[in-house]
Amino acid sequence: MIKTSESSAIVELCQAPVALIGAGNLAWSLVSGLLAAETIDPTLLRITNQSSDVRLDRFAGLGLFARRDLDAVLAGVRTVLLLVKPVDAAKALADAAPYLVPGSLLISAVAGLPLDYLSEVVPPGVHIVRAMPNTASAMRLATTAIAAGPATPQVFVDWATTLFAAVGSVHDVPEWCLDAVTAVSGSGPAYVYYFAEMLINAGAAAGLDRSLARVLALETLAGAVAMLGRPGADPVALRTAVSSPRGTTEAAIAVLQDRQISDAVLAAVQSAAQRSREISSVFLSHRPSRSVEVDAVDLDNDQSA
Ligand SMILES: NC(=O)c1ccc[n+]([C@@H]2O[C@H](COP(=O)([O-])OP(=O)(O)OC[C@H]3O[C@@H](n4cnc5c(N)ncnc54)[C@H](OP(=O)(O)O)[C@@H]3O)[C@@H](O)[C@H]2O)c1
């Protein structure tokens, strides 16, 4: 909740130009959400990317100032969003840093890019926030966790929250949580897609027409998620309620438990969190004071969260 005393500072921030570095999937989701929610006027949004004219033109079509000239994009901005892949982050940051002025805010959505690294790259007085949204930002149903640098004033955290609230819910967490957040909600949509894929395949294997299996599986997932979203809903209670003794659901759940699916999910989340920590370690071992360029080989398997 934004306090009244801070609201005028937020108004000031949202009336100043905001620059996005990176014009990919996340940038598109975020801009679409910000414009739909009327959080910011499109004429205040500026965007740049590496090389794709097609991607930049798409944003220009929404009324954004879309250029590859950093002088033009970053001059006078109060908020910069870093929306590039981990492998591209060091160069994008090094290019942008000279334009960042004290009192401005840098928000990084780059998976695994630590606040310690960011604080060494940006000039003194630039505030920093990390954000970890997920791909549901495209539907404005993202879950985003944000973690601010220790010296970042609350009003900048509130402003970052306002920006990501345009594409879903936002949770303020300490930075150490972000590896687990990445593993649960950053990578989480892919686990659900994988389960959907398996349920469709199993339905087809059980004799259903594949298109019918797909409709049944996806409608079932959507219905179950809606049930889970009701106030007070509890996954264990909901599962138990539909598992009659010696019934069909109980038979299925017994197989899942016997195959230790719970252990597999636990190990999957631990593995994703470990990979996030490894990416952070790569960044920290390539701090700009030692080398501006992060080795692409170390990070090129981490094209997203
Ligand atoms: N997509 C999501 O929902 C999501 C969720 C959680 C976290 N993230 C994080 O958000 C970041 C972006 O993800 P994405 O899915 O949007 O990636 P993406 O679609 O591949 O877009 C990356 C963008 O970065 C641009 N870029 C690369 N190097 C640059 C540089 N030096 N200067 C300026 N722009 C540069 C690319 O330019 P071109 O257009 O020329 O290729 C492209 O527009 C990643 O770090 C990812 O981990 C994304």
pLDDT at 301: 46
pLDDT tens for each residue of 39-56: 899 999 999 999 999 999
Residue-range domain boundaries for the chain: 4-178, 192-231
Q: Is 53 left (phi over 0), alpha (psi -120 to 50) or beta?
A: alpha
pLDDT tens for each residue of 107-143: 999 999 999 999 999 999 999 999 999 999 989 999 9
pLDDT tens for each residue of 138-177: 899 999 999 999 999 999 999 999 999 999 999 999 999 9
Name every residue whose Cβ is closer than 8 Å to that of residue 214 and which is 6 or more positions away in sequence: 200, 203
Name every residue whose Cβ is closer than 8 Å to that of residue 171 and which is 6 or more positions away in sequence: 143, 144, 145, 146
Question: pTM of the prediction?
Answer: 0.89
pLDDT at 305: 53
d(CA 280, ligand 1 centre) in Å:
17
d(CA 130, ligand 1 centre) in Å:
15
Cα dist from 278 to 201, 271, 298, whole Å: 34, 10, 9
Question: What does the alpha-carbon distance between residue 192 and residue 268 come to, in Å, rounded to a whole number?
Answer: 13
pLDDT at 293: 46
Looking at 58-217, which runs of residues are DSSP E strands? 65-66, 79-82, 105-108, 127-132, 142-148, 168-172
pLDDT at 9: 72
Q: Rounded mean pLDDT of 238-248?
A: 94
pLDDT at 291: 40
Tell me if 179 sits within 8 A of 273, measured CB to CB: yes
Cα dist from 107 to 62, 198, 276, whole Å: 22, 37, 18
pLDDT at 289: 61
pLDDT at 8: 73
- 10 Å CB burial of residue 259 (0-12, 13-18, 19+) is exposed
pLDDT at 13: 81
- From the candidate CATH numbers 3.40.190.10, 3.40.50.720, 3.40.50.1470, 3.40.50.300, the one assigned to the domain spanning 4-178: 3.40.50.720
Q: Rounded mean pLDDT of 74-100?
A: 96
With residue 18 as reference, give the H or E element that holds it: strand 18-21
Q: Rounded mean pLDDT of 70-75?
A: 96
Pocket test for ligand 1, best of 69, 74, 84, 300 (most atoms within 8 A of CB): 84
Q: Which residues pair with 46 in a beta bridge?
A: 19, 65
Least confident of 105-114, 243-252, 279-288: 279-288
Confidence of residue 185 (pLDDT cuts 50, 70, 90): very high
Percentage of residues in the chain having pLDDT higher than 70:
92
pLDDT at 299: 63
Pocket test for ligand 1, best of 31, 49, 55 (most atoms within 8 A of CB): 49
Pocket of ligand 1 (CB under 6 A): 21-27, 48-52, 55, 83-86, 88, 91-92, 109-111, 132-135, 137, 186, 304-305
Tell me if 283 sits within 8 A of 302, measured CB to CB: no
Confidence of residue 233 (pLDDT cuts 50, 70, 90): very high
Average pLDDT, rounded, for the chain: 92
